[in-house]
Structure 1
Amino acid sequence: MDTILNVTGLTGGYTPRRSVLHDIDFELRAGEMVGLIGLNGAGKSTTIKHILGLMHPHQGEVKVAGVTLEEAPQQYRSSFAYVPETPLLFDELTVEEHLRLSAMAYQVPEERFQLEAARLLEQYQMTPKRKAFASHLSKGMKQKVMIMSALLASPRLYIIDEPFLGLDPLGIRSLLEQLVAVKKGGAAILMSSHILSTVETYCDRFIVIHQGRIAAQGDLDAIRKAAGLSQGGGTLEDAFYRLVAGGEQ
């Protein structure tokens, strides 16, 4: 399978003198969903910021679709879509205008935009709000706009940070169903979430990050083995607890 995201020897942080991340190595392949999990402050957001190009590595490199940000900035940025934990919208743009802005940024053809925008608005129960300004939306509705904008772009890589915060049950179900669909279509998905039961159900592999280092990665059996559990002996949450807290169930 094609490698969509490749993180190699990533060491980095907010200041040159102090690294938050230490020698991070992982990859995402086409057609898989990978869960990035860890405690608050473990380095998940810092890792994501390096992938987004918002931070520059002290050492190592990040490649998306085979290129680094320095080699091909436009190709790099157009290969992924990002859904942040806190929705970021323009107060004076409507829901529909945000979708159109995303379509323009990712060069989505007009005919496809019309069809996909209508479908997404219906799927996320946002059709009645299509003309509403972002400033008049609830946090959950704003999150839906971020999600719809990412899905409309149809990139090769989705980076999703705590996507379920603020979503109603129908919104969560719609998002998970859509992620399964885009994964089957060949996209790669990196999802960071504290809801480990959902991560376990939907993700193919897992990356456990602790104190800026990868404590374990692989499928559920590999995570169990790293945590000292027998094959089939415990949930992702059980293994995670052992890895980050040294606990025993």
Structure 2
Amino acid sequence: MGGYSQVPVLKDVSFSVNDGELVGLIGLNGAGKSTTINHIIGLLSPFKGRIAINGVSITDDSEKYKSQIAYIPETPILYDELTLKEHLELTITAYGLDKEKAWEKANHLLEIFRLDNKLEWFPANFSKGMKQKVMITCAFMTEAKLFIIDEPFYGLDPIAVHDLLMEIENVKNNGAAVLMSTHVLDTAEKYCDKFVLLANGQVKANGTLDELRALNDGKDQTLDDIYLSLAKDTDNG
């Protein structure tokens, strides 16, 4: 249970994201997605309950907990006075990464996202999509155990969306867990292994697409169909 001040927004929210798994966090505006993410990354503290990554909670060991997370926010957050190269150097320092390996990863990502000739650029020179690509590069050059990606597709061109999905697949194959919040349900349906459907701060359904269909009595329903049905039931109930 958690929220802002003493007002509970989340009510007994419980789910897990396993290694090598992409879980889609699905919900309408106000469903509790951002509040859930803010609790996981440590910006909010739960009123009760426990959040753990590989058995470690933020109260057990804050540094160890946070070092396992790479977070890509919905709105890119960059430092105006730092170049792209300096953002990457800051990431290496913050995560205590091996410089040679980290730059090898970074250069690979910079090439994929067509940023390799912009290392000396400042954020003021970047479009929203380019800023998003900088955030993606900084996240995926780490060795995080849990990647949290909030509404990643807005501002990205179709090629960049494809490249991001391929990088998600790569970190999954290397054993990382990925939690992705999105409104783009057709893409989520295609790429996510499991789903957590939130409405009014509660988990209304949790599982694979087939498991959600079984709960909703519809063999051929899309993720969009299932969520709309659950959301309507919640509004009526």
Same fold, TM-score > 0.5, yes or no: yes
Match of 2:104 in 1: 115
- CA offsets per residue over residues 70-116 of structure 1, 9 Å max, x none? 11011000001000000000011111111111111111111112211
TM-score by length of 2: 0.96
**What is the aligned counterpart of 1:173 among 162, 167, 170?**
162
Distance (whole Å) between structure 2 residues aligned to residue 156 and residue 32 of structure 1: 11
Pair 1:238 & 2:225 matched? yes
Question: Take 2:81 and 2:107, find their aligned partners in 1: how far apart are those partners?
Answer: 21
Residue 149 of structure 1 is matched in structure 2 by 138
- Report the Cα distance in structure 2 between the residues aligned to 1:114 and 1:184, rounded to whole angstroms: 21
1:2-13 matches, cutoff 5 A? 11-13=1-3
**173, 176, 189: which one pairs with 1:187?**
176
Matched residue, 2:84: 95
Q: CA deviation at 1:246?
A: 3.8
> Between the two proteins, what is the percent identity of the paired residues?
46
TM-score, normalization by structure 1 = 0.92
Given that residues 100 and 113 in structure 1 are in contact (C-alpha distance below 8 angstroms), is that contact kept between their aligned partners in structure 2?
no
Counterpart of 2:187 in structure 1 is 198
Distance 1:43 1:226 in 2: 22
Shift of 1:228: 2.9
Q: What's the CA shift string for 1:161-200, capped at 9, x where partnerless?
A: 0011111111111100000111011000000000001101
1:14: which partner in 2?
4
**What is the CA–CA distance in structure 2 between the aligned matches of 1:115 and 1:173, rounded to whole Å?**
21
DSSP-derived class of the 1:88 partner:
coil
Give me the whole-angstrom Cα distance separating, in 2, the residues matched to 1:112 and 1:183. Answer: 19
SS at match of 1:61: coil
Cα distance in 2 for partners of 1:113, 1:62 equals 28
**Aligned partners of 1:73 and 1:123: how far apart in 2?**
33
Deviations 1:6-27 (A, max 9, x none): xxxxx011021x2000001111
What one-letter code is carried by the residue in structure 2 that aligns with 1:65?
A: N
Q: Aligned with 1:35: secondary structure? A: strand
- Cα pair 2:102 2:142 within 8 Å, conserved: no
Which of 4, 17, 23 is equivalent to 1:28?
17
Larger strand percent: 1
Q: What are the ranges of 5 or more consecutive residues in structure 2 without an aligned counterpart?
A: none
Tell me which residue corresponds to 1:63.
52
Deviations 1:174-232 (A, max 9, x none): 10000011101100000000000110111100000000000001000111122232x3x
Name 2:149's counterpart in structure 1: 160
- Rounded to whole Å, the distance in 1 between the matches of 2:56 and 2:210 is 32
Q: Is the 8 A contact 1:92 1:135 kept in 2?
A: no
Runs of 4+ deviating beyond 6 Å: none
**Match of residue 48 from structure 1:** 37
Structure 1 residue matching 2:56: 3-state secondary structure: coil
Gaps of 5+ in 1: 1-10
Aligned length: 234
Instruction: Describe the SS at the equivalent of 2:88.
Output: helix
Q: Using CA pairs below 8 Å that are at least 6 residues apart, which structure has the higher relative contact order?
A: 2
Contact 1:31 1:188 in 2 (8 A): yes
**Structure 1 stretch 134-143 or stretch 43-52: which is displaced more?**
134-143
* Map of 2:66 onto structure 1: 77
